[in-house]
Amino acid sequence: MIYIATWGDPLGWSTDAKYVCEDSKVTEGFSGIFCYEKFDRVIIITLDSILTPIGKDKPKNTKAYNCIKQINVSEIKDYDTWKTKTEEYIKCIISNYIPDVIVLPAIGKYGDFTYGKYKNTWIRPEHLKIILAYELYKKLKEIRENEEVILDTTHGVNYVGALTLLTLQKLSTLLKFRLTVINFIPTVMFKEYSFTEVYRIKPSVFDYDSIDEKNIGKDRVKKAIILSLKRNSVLMLAYLCDSVSLSGYEFKPVIEGNEIKLVNDLNVKKEDEAWADIISDYLCKKVRSKGEKKRYLSSLRDLAKEIYGNSAFAVITDKELNDLWSIARNNLGFNEEKLYKDIRMKDQNSEDTETKKEKEEKDVTIRNFIAHAGLLKDIVKVKKVSDKELEISYDANSENIKTLSEILDVELNELLNRN
């Protein structure tokens, strides 16, 4: 189980408040985290502004006060050090839980410092969404399927709780973890807080249609990956994923006097671009884990299940792969390779739904590409590698590869020949 909490300024949290836990046990402290003896991991999401707290002169939290006394803000000259000191501050406060810390940029004036200035205005909410998506993904990408993540929204500043919930909801559909949102409601203001479960979701399927490929930027391979996912071609991922890695983001504010400001914009401009990067990194590792068998029938079935779950796309892909297998197993010899259309012609029970006229129309090709899980008979080659296994590939010499390149907005000839 992984515990994630959003934190504001812990100096204002009383250390002798009572927390009524989920099992009705009562514990004292400044956070609901003390209701739990241990977690597999703890992640605290906070703002860089906690180093200049407003309530430093009248702290309610002696533990936090003793920790922040060790930090001299005036000696910090660069933002990387500022972030490191923020992380050290949080780790000092709950050292027994050994937390990971995600530091987000604050917006506005806290204490004597002004945060989040960008040119003549402020950094955008989209900046925060992008940073949070990347940082949570990096912390959670190795999570076990169906593991539980608890999000404690009791504390936190303004928008942080909402953005964290939205980000975790999306990540849960990609990484397949269970998400439970909790809150400790102040039943006696500042003195007693009682556990309540706010929200619970089970793993579902990522909505790839929510990513607008027009917002992805200049990385045409990752754009093609998103289009392949939206157009139901697991086989195409076996070609696109070979050299894909996480690009990440660059966020480099500077400290000038009592101001932390952003001079240059993020290299990632849109939230969709960040999610395309994250999705490509995560799913391509799954594709590459299949090694030389990534285009085998069994591997494509497994990948379709992992990517699409029990959705309509998974059902379509499974049906198309089953149809291909039922036709190929009796019409191919061992190590024999043929175009899919040639073995379909041998099979008297297969129905040819693609007419010559349709083949010439791009929009119909797109429709057929989706309907047949990318397994168009004129461009797919099939090889029988054993009595129970096929290797499936695209024919780099097919005259229809140009149309397919247009559909996915990427040059495929070199890619297919390389593989």
Q: Which domains does the chain have, with CATH numbers?
A: 2-204 (3.40.50.10640), 212-246+278-418 (1.10.3740)
pLDDT tens digits, 263-319: 988 889 899 999 999 999 999 999 999 999 999 999 999 999 999 998 998 999 999
Q: How far apart are CA 112 and CA 412, in angstroms?
A: 56
Q: How far apart are CA 241 and CA 243, in angstroms?
A: 6
pLDDT tens digits, 227-255: 999 999 999 999 999 889 999 999 999 99
**Pair type for strands 121-122 and 113-118:** antiparallel
| DSSP three-state, residue 18 | strand
pLDDT of residue 354 exceeding 80, the answer is no
Q: How far apart are CA 328 and CA 322, in angstroms?
A: 10
- Neighbouring CB atoms inside 10 A of 25's CB total 10
Q: How far apart are CA 156 and CA 25, in angstroms?
A: 24
Pick from 277, 279, 230, 224: nearest CA to 394:
224
φ and ψ of 177, to 5 deg: -110, 160
Pick from 53, 48, 214: nearest CA to 123:
48
Torsion-angle region of residue 108: left (phi > 0), alpha (psi -120 to 50) or beta?
Answer: left
Q: Which residues pair with 253 in a beta bridge?
A: 262
Average pLDDT, the chain: 91
pLDDT of residue 355 exceeding 50, the answer is no
Query: Where does the pLDDT of residue 367 fall: very low under 50, low under 70, confident under 90, or very high at 90 and above?
Result: confident
pLDDT of residue 361 exceeding 70, the answer is no
Specify the pTM.
0.92
Comparing 169-173, 323-327, 343-347, the range with the smallest average pLDDT is 343-347
The set of residues, in sequence order, having a beta carbon less than 8 Å from that of 366 and lying 6+ positions away, is: 231, 407
Mean pLDDT of 320-325: 94
Q: Which residues pair with 101 in a beta bridge?
A: 44
Q: Which residues pair with 382 in a beta bridge?
A: 338, 392
pLDDT of the residue at 285: 96
pLDDT of residue 363 exceeding 70, the answer is yes
Mean pLDDT of 366-383: 89
pLDDT of residue 63 exceeding 50, the answer is yes
pLDDT of residue 130 exceeding 70, the answer is yes
pLDDT of residue 176 exceeding 50, the answer is yes
pLDDT of residue 357 exceeding 80, the answer is no
pLDDT of residue 366 exceeding 90, the answer is no
Mean pLDDT of 81-110: 95
